[in-house]
Structure 1
Amino acid sequence: MPKRIFPFRRGEADRTADAAEALGLKGANLALLASLDLPVPPGFTIATFAWREAKGAGSELPQALRAELRSAIDWLEGVTGRRFNGDAKPLLLAVRTSARVQMPGLAESVLDVGLNDRTVDVVAAELNDAAFAYRSYRRFIESYAALVLGADPAEFEEIADLDRERAGYDHEPETVAGWRALIARYHEHIEAELGAILPQTPLEQLTAVVAASFASWRNPVAVAHRHLQGVPENAGLAVTVHAMIFNERNQKSGRGRAVSRDLASGQSRLSGEFTLGARGANEIGHGAPVHDLSELAAGGQDGFPADLAELTRHVRRLEAHVGDAVEVDFMIGDGALFLMQSRPARRTAGEAIRVAVELVAEGLIDEGEAILRIDPASLDLVLHPTIARSADLVVLGRGMPASPGAATGEIAFSVDRVQARANEGRPVILVRNETSPEDIHGMHLADGVLTIRGGTTSHAAVVARGIGKPCVTGVGSLRINAEAGTLNAGVRVLKEGDRITIDGSSGEVIEGAAALRRPALTGDFARLMQFADRARRMGVRTNAETPAEARAARAFGAEGIGLCRTEHMFFEGDRIQAMREMILATDENGRRAALDKLLPIQRSDFTELFEIMAGLPVTIRLLDPPLHEFLPNSESEIAETAAMLSVDEAAVRQRIAGLQEFNPMLGHRGCRLAISYPEIVEMQARAIVEAAIDAGQKTGSTVVPEIMVPLVSLRRELDFVKERVDEVARLVMAERGRRIGYHVGTMIELPRAIVRADTIAEAADFFSFGTNDLTQTVYGISRDDAANFLSTYVRQGILERDPFQTVDVDGVGELIAMAVEKARRTRPDIMLGVCGEQGGDPASIAFFEETGLDYVSCSPFRVPIARLAAAQSAIRFSRASGRPRARRHDA
């Protein structure tokens, strides 16, 4: 039979292997403090087993539990030298409820259990303080009636107010007779309005409070939070009972919170605050002075009614035991110090890093433990600006937190307006219904991006994360009125040029220019990254096309470029016109003439990327999107393009119509373009090889480019493209008189490529899993439209999480694992990576580590997150398997 009751006192405590499960957080915590010989009030915890045995609710506790409660009280009477309902020195109890996790909605603490119409006078005589004794009795009656009888606390306030008016006192009765009269009115109210009588037997009071605490597990607030946190209904709660501490009685009493470290510096120095005991009812919990513990420690004992050095020793000991900065709740009753709770100190992301690094420096934890203590996702708060929160912020709408960070600027509805404002040095937010590849230039210039439609894997979200710009998507409550040039937010109407602030970490859109806090990457952050790099197995690359992105990624520790999307290089100035000229050409010669204009541009772009990466791998994806994305949309753009290229507008419209597809995501794109127009591949291959030779000569580094063929599903597709790449490479190297190495691989993003991975691996030097398109094709869901319904799937429990954000291990993940096994069976040395946005998602990275991928690639600002997550995954894998895994390839 499991134990029902676990007693504790300083120096000894009954505990279980999983204390929080059996004793709740409060009970487990007090048991730990007691076992470390730290000063705690003596008491006992009624375990969750007793709750389950009692079926969680009801006015009557099981007889066995009632008997054990009586025995526990007998033990507590012996420890304290006090008697429950005693004629002298009566025992008073505090009853506190808790579960294995913090859970709002459970019963509030009930204090001073054991006071009744007789013992209140005994306590008053013992303490020589009738006002305090009766104040405590009044508080007990109110909390008992609220919990056990379901009374409204406001009703007792009304009784007290009427009594105050009738008797003519300011705050509380001034005589014992006055107090007794007020208490009598409380009794009358309970009997008349609630149909009950306040028990005068302390044991009856205790059993009623415990039963009502048990029942609180099923109140609506607790149920809602239980569902949110995934806590099973049968987990149950525990109830801790301990001797009362009179921490609000006099100037030798009080309560506080002590932190073992100065979280701002990470140094081992007591900090926190202390509130001196209140002198009267009007000051309880309100006007009592609050003291800074660090100032008290620096200035001596003055103002602290217990031994401050003793508190410091206790907190230090607790920190050494748990190996982390701790936060301790304490009380002082008439000069006696008691520790009530402890927990890891609450801290910001920056403070968490600082403390972890300091604990390693002091030898309290090792680097691996420091790595595991930092939530990788919290690094977003360190790497990006955040909003300085204030009460006057006006939230216009809420959408999806698509790219972290905060930005403020003027509303601009078009790329041209963004350009104009950026040229004037004015901050700007690009606001669109949704973005397209043509908006990329404006997104680079804007301080942030807001879209009315789309989700966290939409075009706007993916591009914004890649360039490190804050982005909020899917704010369906806002409406753009293009004709009027306004943004409608309910009754508020904003026009172009008005200022807004977006928070890409919360999804909020805020009116006006909110104050921002800028990030500061301290030396502690760099030290943590050093720890992570020593621990991780997988390499971490970046997705980058521009020099600014590449430099940012290198600053964040990227070990190369895992995805360079060449189509993003074609949307500016002369580039888009040359691209349109190529698409509108009527024959191969015309296409080659246009591509000759793009060749030096591509070569220059690639040369700069190779130079920035200085010999690190650079994976360049050949042209992927369908050609219609490069053509103009509006009538004015069509006319402008026709005039610039000296072609008829009708011919432009005809070509646009000819390229339209019902489902372009599954249409004429990727390697299919390369097979239809091999001259495009030849131009890009020449630009890559020439750039590698130029960059190698300039930097002295060995540049080995990786050329990635997209959307392959057939081995023959890869063979076709690879033959053209090899042919061009041989020609260029012969022309330059210089040989270089290069690799040709493919992006695995179609189910057929997974099934035929063993055959495709025969021709590929590397695989890079494109998890965005792979998830689309496996699920048959468009990621740009998924936001309309996937949130409902998650809310209804049909999906645990959005599969475009975190890899679907059971579906997409199993296919990836299959491809890995098949590819390595054919070619053991093949390089395997992932370049979808899930390459920066910590949960996905854990799966990629388990699967044995060689690297992940993500947007520049997610590189530190990926480095830390990869280190955590490697540590956990090693601990679980008992063996470390070394890298299969150089980064």
Structure 2
Amino acid sequence: MTAHETDKYVYDFAEGNKDLKDLLGGKGANLAEMTNLGLPVPPGFTITTGACQAYLATGREPDGLAGQIEAHLQALEREMGRRLGDPDDPLLVSVRSGARFSMPGMMETVLNVGLNDRSVVGLARQAGGSAGPTASGGSADPTASGGNDRFAWDSYRRLIQMFGKTVCEVPGEEFEHALDEAKRAKGTHDDLDLDADDLRGLVETYKKIFAEHTGREFPQEPREQLDLAIRAVFESWNAERAILYRRQERIPADLGTAVNVVAMVFGNLGPDSGTGVAFTRDPGSGAQGIYGDYLANAQGEDVVAGIRNTVPLQELERLDKTSYDQLLDIMARLEGHYQDLCDIEFTIERGKLWMLQTRVGKRTAAAAFVIAGQLVDEGLIDLDEALHRVNGAQLAQLMFPRFQLDHDVPPVARGIGASPGAASGAVVFTSARAVELAAEGKAVILVRRETNPDDLNGMIAAQGILTSRGGKTSHAAVVARGMGKTCVSGADEIEVNVPAKRFTVGGRTVSEGDVVSIDGTTGKVYLGEVPVVPSEVVQYFEGSLDPAHVDNALVRAVHRIMTHADARRRLAVRTNADTGADAARARRFGAEGIGLCRTEHMFLGDRRELVERLILAATDTDRTDALAALLPLQRQDFVEIFREMAGLPVTVRLIDPPLHEFLPPLEQLAVNVAVAQERGEDVAKEEALLAAVRRMHEENPMLGLRGVRLGLVIPGLFAMQVRAIAEAAVAVTRDGGAACPEIMVPLVGAVQELETVRAEAEKIIAEVVGDSGVEVLIGTMIEVPRAALTAGQIAEAAQFFSFGTNDLTQMGWGFSRDDVEGAFFWRYLELGIFGISPFESIDRDGVGRLIRIAAEEGRAARPGLKLGVCGEHGGDPDSVHFFHEVGLDYVSCSPFRVPVARLEAGRAAIETTGSDSR
């Protein structure tokens, strides 16, 4: 791009295409694409994301932008045959945001820009047929020569309301209260019952509200309205709710938003006009058919805001068959062109269909898998592309449980299943309360008449969302689907009273704190908590549902895509398991071994007494006896695990935490001893235990006597564990099975530590294994930064590395997870210091660099070095891609996350090699 081209900030629709989303935003790029396809798109232009970035960086519009806007506005006026805000025949425009990634409702829109006290009269004449061409280029209805005052004044009150709230930060509820009051005075609940005189009076009320809150009159100059609206869209990129949404969806903060200025077309001109949203397939299930909402005599914001209940899109066929047939044809063309589910916004202006937006539509997790499989069957995409279009987060959603109704439990209400899932929780009526209770660990259901972008905090905190208004395309539905939240919308049987903190339905009152359950698939709402059962996808992974013999499109799609992911991936996927039962479940979920078996979990329960004997041992004999008692118990644990894994590799971590963690807390023990002494009881044993706890007590146990240090200080401890592992492997092998143990030494920071432990372990292994054919690998856990930085040395003594990313993150950042997550992580996330917790997704720049260094230097020293990861990051989708990039051999995670890791490992492989279909 030349220097001259970088100064181009404004593009006509005909100049762009769908591949310019970084420059024109998603909305602008797709408006351009539809224009170039010859579809009926109102004329307009797009101000680039580059202009927004420059504005946000400097606080002012970049040089040249004003002139470019003026030039394109004049061209638009020539094309339309009208001038912006002309008092006799006004051109009106919408000003809409449009970022690279869809952020529904998070940024700003202003409609009807160009209206003022003079042009509203001209608009009435124009709409009534007494003036010039309509937006469609034809003539207005000649039978309506009396004008359309109601339409014009309704459009003007909408402009003041949206402009006031969006551009000048006038509280939106002030306008809502005024509208409600006007309807009460009229004796109606419906906006459409307000006539022109009512709306004219409402405009005057709105103007007073505007002046009271801004200290100035509502701007009458059309170009000032336009410039201020554009600036407000730029600034909305950094609005609190937009920032929060980006963090939730992991959208980069530096992209900026484009601004689209489009000639207005009007769906609120009467019964032959309207607006709607359509999907080329069901965004909830993926089923093919006609899905969407339509609202006659309305502007587009009425549909997505959910303030009026819509009718199904099929009703349009009865109302306006010509427009309906044209819309279906356009939907088919767009889906074929984009090769995906398309989400479409349209307006009908007196029988003329206009396309206002299209995008690849947000969908539920189930729909994502089903649609990907359908498109493969239709020959539109290949399996690599199908795998690319789904992700591990969606698969995890599909593994959540669903409601189990043992008998015909009647729902208390029924709405629209807007986003599938099963959610139960205490009812709350405000986002603030949802956040407050969720922070206390309570499950909540956010209940609203309709949601708006300001409710995002509460929607994130809630288990599910229930609204009395809106449909599948309302704000609540679209945002919930994007986040994977359960949502029921349009449950109009319930009467929500937010100030009173209650809703009523069927003569019953449900107050804040009462528990309800909502089913986002069926739309049913139940009182109380409903029990849940495993999802069909979990049943498939468990083996109880055979995809070849079930009539379930979702299960078949998941099976097909998972099979392809397994064929494509290079990374193996193991599990973290400490028992035979965990190992068995992980294998059913597709685990190819155990990457972390934590032996300290085997010392809990009734075995604590043996650990106490080890700690209190006063002589070598006492210590040897305690270890001898633990040996057969440990051996049997490993026998069960090896049998379940049937020859797959099992990485056993030798005991890691400090021994005093197996003892009573110091404070509790001291109190118990003091009380017993006061009673004159014999406390010799307790005093000895207290002395041991005091002796071993550490201010910071994470950095103290644990891991390899413990094994070197307590003679025989590691030796007992190594012997138990080797004996178990030999026992399983001699019974006709197979065992592949890998012994992992934790917390190594210097090669000499590993060499000392390995020398002792090899002697024991050689003694036990003999000619059984069992091979035991010895390696280490890389969790200390020094180990990562000296990996070349450590690799000389290690046959494998396993990255313990939990501790590596703690030590790399210098904080204790238990202490800091609740203390200040929320603030770091709020300030943008963290985009996401480094314990949730790998810190690529810091901790990730340590891993990369260790992997490269370790393999340079030992080319055949096996590399894996066993921290929680092993099941995080983004982290799996990083581990693929740095060349690890496997990831390990909890059994439930094994399918997620398998899927993401496959996606990482195709994104590295590319796909011919993309």
* TM-score interval for Structure 1 and Structure 2 normalised by the shorter chain: 0.7 to 0.9
Contact 2:26 2:98 in 1 (8 A): yes
Q: 1:685 aligns with which of 722, 735, 743?
A: 722
Find the partner of 2:752 among 683, 700, 716.
Answer: 716
| CA apart distance, 1:651 | 2.4
Is the Cα–Cα contact under 8 Å of residues 425 and 444 in structure 2 kept in the other structure?
Answer: no
Distance 1:324 1:658 in 2: 66
* Contact preservation (8 Å) 2:782, 2:788: yes
What SS class does the counterpart of residue 318 from structure 2 fall into? coil
Task: Give 3-state SS (helix, strand or coil) of 1:108's partner.
Answer: strand
Distance in 2, Cα, partners of 1:363 & 1:63: 47
Task: Measure the CA separation in 2 of the matches of 1:502 and 1:778.
Answer: 43
Residue equivalent to 1:551:
584
Q: Could you say if the C-alpha distance between residues 185 and 156 of structure 1 is closer, same or farther in structure 2, counting changes exceeding 3 Å? A: farther
In structure 1, what is the equivalent of residue 124 of structure 2? 120
**CA–CA distance in structure 1, aligned partners of residues 620 and 195 of structure 2:** 105
Distance 1:563 1:157 in 2: 60
2:74 is aligned, of 70, 74, 77, to: 70
Change (3 A) 1:257 1:558: same
Determine the C-alpha separation between the residues in 1 that align with 2:303 and 2:806. Answer: 59
Shift of 1:165: 7.6
Following superposition, the deviation at residue 268 of structure 1 comes to 3.0
Q: Give the secondary-structure state (helix, strand or coil) at the position aligned to 2:260.
A: strand
User: In structure 1, what is the equivalent of residue 15 of structure 2?
Assistant: 14
Partner of 2:280: 260
CA spacing shift, 1:683–1:407, aligned 2, 3 Å: farther
Equivalent residue for 2:594, pick from 546, 550, 561: 561
Residues 1:843 and 2:878 are matched in the alignment: yes
| 1:493-552 residue CA offsets vs partner (Å, 9 max, x unmatched) | xxxxx999999xxxxxxx985776853313333333222222221111111102232122
SS state of the match for residue 809, structure 1? coil
Note the alpha carbon deviations across 1:189-226, whole angstroms, 9 max, x for none: 89999876986xxxx63x23321212314667854356
Deviation of 1:135 after TM superposition, in Å, equals 1.6
Deviations 1:716-744 (A, max 9, x none): 3222222332222222234xx62311211
User: Do structure 1's residue 315 and structure 2's residue 335 form an aligned pair?
Assistant: no
Q: Does 1:756 align with 2:790?
A: yes
Matches within 5 A, 1:92-111: 92-101=91-100, 102=103, 104=106, 106-110=108-112
Q: Hey, what does 1:783 align to over in structure 2?
A: 817
CA deviation after TM superposition for structure 1 residue 762, in Å: 1.9
8 Å CA contact retained: 2:272, 2:349: yes
Q: Deviation per CA, 1:788-812, whole angstroms, max 9, x where unpaired? A: 2344344444455433333333332
Measured on the aligned residues, the alpha-carbon RMSD in Å equals 4.8
Amino acid in the other structure paired with 1:529? M
Q: Is the 8 A contact 2:631 2:720 kept in 1?
A: yes
TM-score under structure 2 length normalisation:
0.71
Question: 1:189/1:714 Cα in 2 relative to 1: closer, same or farther (>3 Å)?
Answer: closer
Q: Which residue of 2 aligns with 1:433?
A: none
Report the Cα offset of residue 831 of structure 1: 0.4
Distance 1:662 1:604 in 2: 35
- Aligned counterpart, 1:588: 620
Which among 316, 328, 343 is matched to residue 344 of structure 2?
328
Which residue in 1 is equivalent to 2:892?
857
Q: Look up the SS of the partner of 1:695 in the other structure.
A: helix
Which of 713, 724, 732 does residue 768 from structure 2 map onto?
Answer: 732
Residues 298-309 of structure 1: pairs in structure 2 closer than 5 A: 301-309=317-325
The equivalent residue for 1:139 is 154
- In 2, are the aligned partners of 1:750 and 1:777 still within 8 Å (CA)? yes
Counterpart CA distance in 2 for 1:145 and 1:44 is 23
Q: 2:219 touches 2:225 (CA, 8 Å); kept in 1?
A: no
User: CA 1:846/1:198 → structure 2, altered by over 3 Å: closer, same or farther?
Assistant: closer
Choose from 614, 617, 638 the match for 1:606: 638
Pairwise CA distance, 1:237 = 4.1
CA distance in 2, matches of 1:811, 1:171: 56
1:262-281 residue CA offsets vs partner (Å, 9 max, x unmatched): 345433322222233479xx
TM-superposed CA distance for 1:662, in Å, is 3.4
Distance 1:690 1:84 in 2: 87
* 2:661 alignment partner in structure 1: 629
- The one-letter code sitting in structure 2 at the alignment partner of 1:669 is R
Q: Deviations over 1:604-651 (max 9, x none)?
A: 211111121111110011122221122234459989999xx9973332
SS of equivalent to 1:752: helix
**CA distance in structure 1 between the aligned counterparts of 2:890 and 2:579, rounded to whole angstroms:** 21
Q: Is 1:266–1:351's contact at 8 Å kept on the other side of the alignment?
A: yes
Give 3-state SS (helix, strand or coil) of 1:269's partner.
strand
Say if 2:639 and 2:729, in contact at 8 Å, map to a contact too: yes
1:38 corresponding residue in structure 2? 39
State the SS of the aligned residue for 1:848.
helix
The equivalences for 1:595-674 within 5 A come to 595-633=627-665, 634-635=668-669, 648-674=685-711
Equivalent pairs counted in the alignment come to 754
Within 2, Cα distance between the matches of 1:702 and 1:167? 81
Report the residue type matching 1:542 in the other structure: T
For 1:753 and 1:286, locate their aligned partners in 2 and report how far apart those are by CA, in whole Å: 57
> Which secondary structure state, in structure 2, belongs to the residue aligned with residue 705 of structure 1?
strand
2:827 and 2:43 map into 1 onto residues whose CA distance is: 49
Matching residue's letter, 2:739: V
Rounded Cα–Cα distance in structure 1 between residues aligned with 2:192 and 2:370: 49
CA distance change for structure 1 residues 310 and 624 in 2, over 3 Å: closer, same or farther? same
The secondary structure found in structure 2 opposite 1:302 is helix
Offset at residue 341 of structure 1 (A)? 1.1
Give the AA of the match of 1:752: R
How far does residue 707 in structure 1 lie from its aligned partner after superposition? Answer: 0.9
Determine the C-alpha separation between the residues in 1 that align with 2:378 and 2:738: 42
Q: Which whole-Å CA distance do the structure 2 matches of 1:375 and 1:576 have between them?
A: 43
**Counterpart amino acid of residue 238 in structure 1:** V
Q: 1:382 to 1:211 in 2, by over 3 A?
A: same
Of 205, 227, 233, the residue aligned with 1:211 is: 227
Give the secondary-structure state (helix, strand or coil) at the position aligned to 2:287: coil
Distance 2:824 2:304 in 1: 51
2:564 matched residue in structure 1: 531
In the other structure, the counterpart of 2:459 is none
* Residues 1:290 and 1:859: Cα distance change in structure 2 (over 3 Å): same
Once the two structures are overlaid, the 10-residue window that deviates more, 861-870 or 182-191, is 182-191
Instruction: Give the 3-state SS of the residue equivalent to 1:618 in structure 2.
Output: strand
Q: Describe the SS at the equivalent of 1:744.
A: strand
Q: Go from structure 1 to structure 2 and tell me whether the alpha carbon gap of 1:105 and 1:46 turns closer, same or farther (over 3 Å shift).
A: closer
Aligned-pair CA distance for 1:234: 9.4
SS for the counterpart of 1:789 is helix
**Alignment CA distance shift 1:514-1:621 (3 Å):** same
Call closer, same or farther: CA 1:616–1:224 in 2, change over 3 Å: same
**3-state DSSP of counterpart to 2:596:** strand
The CA distance in 2 between the partners of 1:576 and 1:501, in whole Å, is 42
Describe the superposition over 1:85-119 as per-residue Cα deviations: whole angstroms up to 9, x where unpaired.
Answer: 9999x575342321325464534222685944345
Q: Determine the structure 2 residue equivalent to 1:831.
A: 866
Asked if the contact 2:77–2:91 (Cα under 8 Å) also holds between the matched residues in 1, the reply is: no
In 2, distance between residues paired with 1:523 and 1:17? 32
Q: CA deviation at 1:64?
A: 5.9
- Show the 5 A alignment for 1:476-487: none
Q: Who is 1:873 aligned against?
A: 908
Residue among 240, 261, 272 paired with 2:261:
240
- Give, as a single letter, the amino acid of the residue that structure 2 aligns with 1:106: E
Change (3 A) 1:677 1:180: closer
Q: Secondary structure at the match of 1:767?
A: strand
- Kept in 1, the 8 Å contact 2:424–2:515? The answer is no
Q: 1:825 to 1:87 in 2, by over 3 A?
A: closer
The 1:184/1:741 distance shift into structure 2, 3 A limit, reads closer
1:377 aligns with 2:393: yes
CA distance in 1: counterparts of 2:124 and 2:599, whole angstroms: 82
Deviation digits for residues 5-61 of structure 1, max 9, x if unmatched? Answer: 5444xxxx2216864454444332221112122232344445567776998679x99
